[in-house]
Amino acid sequence: MESIQSVKQRFEIIGNDPKLNRAIEKAIQVAPTDISVLVTGESGVGKENIPRIIHSLSHRKHNKYIAVNCGAIPEGTIDSELFGHEKGAFTGATATRSGYFEVADGGTIFLDEVGELPLPTQVRLLRVLENGEFLKVGSSQIQKTDVRIVAATNVKMAEAIEKGKFREDLYYRLSTVEIALPPLRDRGEDIHLLFRKFAADFAQKYKMPTIRLADDAVSLLLQYNWGGNIRQLRNITEQLSVLEQKREISYNTLKQYLPSVGSNLPAVINRKKPESDFSNEREILYKVLFDMQRDINDLKKLTLELMNTGSGSKVKEQNASLINKIYAADDERAAQMAAFIEETEDDLEEAHNVEVLNPSENFEATPQAKNSDKYHFAEEIEEEESLSIQDKELELIKKSLEKYDGKRKEAAAELGISERTLYRKIKQYNL
């Protein structure tokens, strides 16, 4: 059995992280068997190295090794790619074609991004894993194949299974042995080792002196989040090698090449799920309704004070800030409110039959007052308070659309919802 160090040298794997060493050790141990292996890890951590190690150390090493990126093949053609098809099986099938499982008979197939496989293809793959049988597209003849499958994914398989996007039975057949590769941010000093390796490679490739990092730049390199893992580190090293004139890279220079460096220090991944659109819209609607309730109560207060004092000018003076707060966004309505107060002041001199109650209580106008448009306004306020949330929502949408002459984009911005949601509400209420 080969040692971990010899395998690293053979496949040019850099680093001494314990988790990396454990992954390579497991690959060496399972290589002589035909056990199915699932390699997990974030995108860019180098998952493609593990199946190459397994194939090269197995008894299949002299046969075919085929790497298939499942996420890059369209759903309509992936069955044909993997299992082949018969002539005339579908439009464009002008000849019989052998799939990867037929071509790689006796060898190894690496299924990268296996979590992206459509469900019908997962059923076909499960049959291959269980008894080595498959059917070409458009054929009824069962064919046999002896292929070892090594799969890899950056998808959280437990979540994919829970959502019905991946078959649980297929997951257990693929993951007889699971090998997890650590993200670059968890590999400590390996980050600087990899940087130096990439810098030396690019110096040789572009025939220029090798770049190196200042001490403070090394600290920044180790603290960065590296969301793109080894692939991102390699790209940034290549940029620095080609674009920078000075061969010693300072902290400030390196910082310019690291996107959103402020948000990546320290290295923390935010995995919080965003709330649904419905939840956000509901909170916005509740806030709007509570604001309307406060405005209605403020209007009642102004009306009662006006009825008590009989002086419109005094009410306007004492409650100027309240009136401005309610009508600050609408000058026309503010002017109408002021006119209403003045008109009511004149009418109060003649309305001797109006019963005035305590301002802190609800009030009811006398029968004579109910016949007056001015006091019927207070009744309308009471009626509005009893409306349902749906009626309030409909009223807000109508007002907003009227305000912006039916322009949905501006109306949606006013309501604090998306234009798509507003369009759905318009259809719902048949506006």
281-318: per-residue pLDDT in tens? 666 666 667 777 777 777 777 676 666 666 566 656 66
Both tokens of 282, joined, read: 């509901």
Q: What backbone torsions phi and psi does residue 67 show, to the nearest 5 degrees?
A: -100, 125
Integer Cα distance of 378 and 236 in angstroms: 69
Q: Identify the three-state secondary structure at position 421.
A: helix
Residue 12 has a CB neighbour count (10 Å cut-off) of 9
Both tokens of 94, joined, read: 């002008």
What pLDDT score was predicted for residue 320?
63
Q: What backbone torsions phi and psi does residue 137 show, to the nearest 5 degrees?
A: -65, 125
Say which DSSP state 85 is in: B
Both tokens of 183, joined, read: 């993200």
Spell out the domains of the chain, with CATH numbers in brackets. Answer: 4-182 (3.40.50.300), 185-264 (1.10.8.60), 277-386 (no CATH)
Alpha carbon of residue 239 to chain centroid: 29
Average pLDDT, the chain: 81
What pLDDT score was predicted for residue 338?
57
List strand residue ranges (DSSP E) for 19-93, in order: 37-40, 65-69
Determine if the peptide bond prior to 266 is cis (ω within 30°). Answer: yes
Low-confidence ranges of the chain (pLDDT < 50): 261-277, 329, 351-387
Q: Kindly write down the DSSP assignment for every residue of 274-290, as one continuous string.
A: PPPHHHHHHHHHHHHHH
Radius of gyration of the chain (CA): 36
Both tokens of 68, joined, read: 């298939």
CA distances from 208 to 196, 214, 240, 244, 247 (A): 14, 19, 12, 11, 9
CB–CB of 258/225 below 8 Å?
no
CA distances from 320 to 160, 195, 314 (A): 59, 67, 10
What pLDDT score was predicted for residue 262?
45
What pLDDT score was predicted for residue 272?
47
